[in-house]
Amino acid sequence: MSARRNFAANLRRLCLTRGSISAASRQLGIHRAQMEKYLTGKSEPNAETRRTICLFFGVDEAQIYQTPDDAGFGERVDLGHFNVLDEGRKLVQPLLREPAASIATGLYYLYFTMPGHPGKLVCALMAIGRRGAASLFRRLTHRSDGYAGQRSQAFGDHRGLVVERWGAFLFMGINACGVHEPSLLRLHWLNTTDAMLGGYAMVHTPNGWSFASIIMQPVNSRATLMETVRASRSRSADNALIPGLIHELIARQSANLIDSLRRELGR
């Protein structure tokens, strides 16, 4: 089988892990007709599109060109009578009965570093709400990388639970698309005049797990929803639109993280 055919077969399997080919096409921002050409081997994406596809599915380019048997994407598992949804509900149910976390509902900006991209700082939009006694969140991020500054589709779409433990907030969620997005966050209140939280996150990347420094602050109540959505994007770390205090706190969090890792490794 040719490399292009390998790519087509592996891409089809990866798309089906997102529910359907149409769903994967929408999330990637690739027209469905163009995606069909990739899936049938009639054409092959350019280098930039291949990079986007690999980042989206969390794979490297060499892997997606392997024979389907070697790549092992989207292998079907016979679950028999095992009901995944029922089992998942059993695991999550105890967390849903926990007391609500002591963090106000509303919109927040979440600033975080991006592993592998030291010159980038991402601003995401975080919404915190309640369902019964549980604190829930949804975090949306898009990016402006691409030709002529055109934005791609959503780069990150996290949904999950907020649990409070030992003076810290744990944000546990699943990303519906993309990689390089924080998955497990641990934040605590910072000693600042404004209500701000700081901490770290574990991030899944094509090269494995990494860490990111996080700063979170409430969105100004006077800001419109359109303004907040436009602000949720990746920027260069020295961008003047990012508040100076955010730069300072992110740098401090990163330095503290490095010191902590050095202490742990030095034991």
Kindly report, residue by residue over 39-73, the tens digit of the pLDDT: 998 999 998 888 888 877 777 788 888 887 765 66
Q: Return the CA Rg of the chain.
A: 20
Q: For residues 59 and 17, what is the distance between their CA atoms, to the nearest angstrom?
A: 13
Is 0.75 topped by the overall pTM?
A: no
pLDDT of residue 75 exceeding 60, the answer is: no
Q: Residues 74, 63: contact at Cβ < 8 Å?
A: no
214 compared with 223, residue with greater pLDDT: 214
